[in-house]
Amino acid sequence: MSLLLAVNGVAPAVGTGCFLAPNATLTGDIILGDECSVWFNAVLRGDVNSIRIGNRVNIQDNAVIHCTYKKAATTIGSNVSIGHNAIVHGCFIHDNVLIGMGAIIMDHCVIESNSIIAAGAVLLEGTHVKSGSVYAGVPAKKVKEISPGQMMGEIERIANNYLMYASWYQDSPKIR
């Protein structure tokens, strides 16, 4: 069973239709919307500030969502995919965004809707990603505008796939 811990009297709130992997960890001031999935070994720590997550968000294996004490909360919109091993820290991510595997998003970054952050990209503190952009590299820079095909082919496809994957686990029996 997933680990949900209250911190300073505040417990995570999980919306309807969510899948939390048995070893996912959610602590403190977290509000998770509906139809979200938090995958194996993912950690969401709302212990030092708040984490607000919209609907249809998937937080993939080994991802870390955290904040900075009294300085930077984390807000993630709806229909967002956070790739495996990504670190999302004290930032604001709007709707319809893909954060690639191993990406790092630092404090006070803003990622506007319909954007892609490439695998392994590092967004330095305070980076502002305009809507419809693809950012890549270390440090991350805008590499191109997102095409309508990328929006449907990547952002929508991955978000929809994770809804399907989560459904596979909803009633899976524990083997051992």
Beta carbons within 8 Å of 83's beta carbon, 6+ residues apart: 60, 63, 98, 99, 100, 101, 102, 103, 119
Residue 83 located in a structural domain: yes
> Predicted confidence band at 163 (pLDDT cuts at 50, 70, 90)?
very high
- Print the domain residue range for 69: 3-169
Look up residue 169 and give its two tokens.
């686990």
Mean pLDDT of 111-138: 97
Domain annotation covers residue 175? no
Cα–Cα distance for residue pair 135/121, rounded to 1 Å: 7
Q: Per the domain annotation, does 118 fall within a domain?
A: yes
Q: Residues 79-124: pLDDT tens digits? A: 999 999 999 999 999 999 999 999 999 999 999 999 999 999 999 9
Provide the total of helices (H) and of strands (E) in the chain, helices listed first.
2, 20
The reported pLDDT for the residue numbered 132 is: 94
**Residue that wins the pLDDT comparison between 147 and 18:** 18
Q: Is residue 72 part of a domain?
A: yes
Q: What is the CATH number of the domain that holds 158?
A: 2.160.10.10
What sign has the CA pseudo-torsion 27, 105, 77, 149?
A: negative
Q: Tokens 């194996």 appear where?
A: 40
Specify the number of domains making up the chain: 1
